């Protein structure tokens, strides 16, 4: 069964736009869980334009499903995570000025660094996932670094999906097979939505979790947050 983790970064972005506490990020996280979300994902960035560092302890207190903190493991981020251990930490190689994450780790070039970071997170009992492109060699590198899971970067899949779903999925099928063969758990995220999620889930063997934020929050403007979460869950549950 593939779990749905709701990324609430865009809720924080809306809150921050007015410098107030509307919408209340902590309440939204709790409400997402009550509506059926099986995890809450946040991606605090150095400029704190989305979820802020001071939100993390408060969220950790209220999230009762799975708390996933993702981000670039610079010293400030690592201190934040180690001081507030989540269930999972997803390491993402984005630079401070990136609009959004748009590529995975080169686990061969960064293998030693990832191994050191993973060991520190494991000492706190944190499951470690790395954001990665669907390239078998990079998946093998992730395994050597000692991580528990990979999160497949699905942006390219989403961009190609409407033109040729089979071609869009091909690299991800091979990547999933490789991860399964070497016993790495599989997560996925980025640009998954109501149109492409079921197809991806049906064709990615061993998919454990998807993290969805931008599309889900945008859909909630039309359908409401509770209904939208149920719509996404239905795509993950229906045969």
Active-site hit among 38, 50, 190, 209:
190
Active-site hit among 43, 50, 66, 209:
43
Give φ, ψ of 208 to 5 degrees: -95, -35
Taken in order 12, 15, 19, 20, the sign of the CA dihedral is negative
Residue 128 DSSP SS3: strand
Give φ, ψ of 192 to 5 degrees: -75, 140
Distance CA 173, CA 176 (A): 5
Active-site hit among 33, 38, 66, 70:
70
**Does residue 70 have an active-site annotation?**
yes
The H or E element spanning position 6 is strand 3-7
Q: Mind telling me the catalytic residues? A: 43, 70, 190
């Amino acid at each position: 069964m593939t779990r749905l983790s709701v990324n609430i970064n865009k809720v924080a972005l809306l809150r921050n736009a007015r410098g107030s506490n509307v919408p209340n990020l902590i309440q939204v996280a709790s409400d997402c869980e009550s509506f059926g979300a099986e995890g809450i994902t946040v991606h605090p960035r150095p400029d704190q334009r989305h979820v802020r560092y001071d939100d993390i302890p408060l969220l950790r207190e209220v999230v009762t499903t799975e708390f996933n903190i993702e981000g670039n493991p610079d010293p400030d981020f690592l201190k934040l995570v180690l001081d507030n251990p989540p269930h999972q930490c997803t390491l993402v190689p984005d630079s401070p000025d990136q609009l959004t994450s748009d590529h995975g780790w080169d686990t061969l070039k960064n293998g030693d660094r990832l191994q050191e970071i993973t060991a520190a997170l494991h000492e706190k009992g944190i499951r470690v996932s790395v954001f990665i492109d669907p390239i078998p060699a990079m998946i093998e590198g992730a395994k050597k670094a000692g991580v528990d899971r990979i999160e497949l970067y699905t942006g390219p899949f989403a961009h190609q999906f409407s033109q040729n779903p089979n071609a869009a999925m091909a690299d991800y099928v091979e990547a999933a097979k490789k991860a399964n063969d070497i016993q790495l758990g599989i997560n996925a995220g980025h640009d998954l939505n109501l149109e492409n999620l079921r197809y991806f889930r049906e064709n990615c063997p061993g998919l454990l979790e998807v993290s969805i934020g931008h599309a889900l929050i945008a859909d909630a403007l039309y359908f409401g947050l509770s209904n939208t979460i149920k719509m996404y869950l239905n795509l993950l549950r229906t045969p």
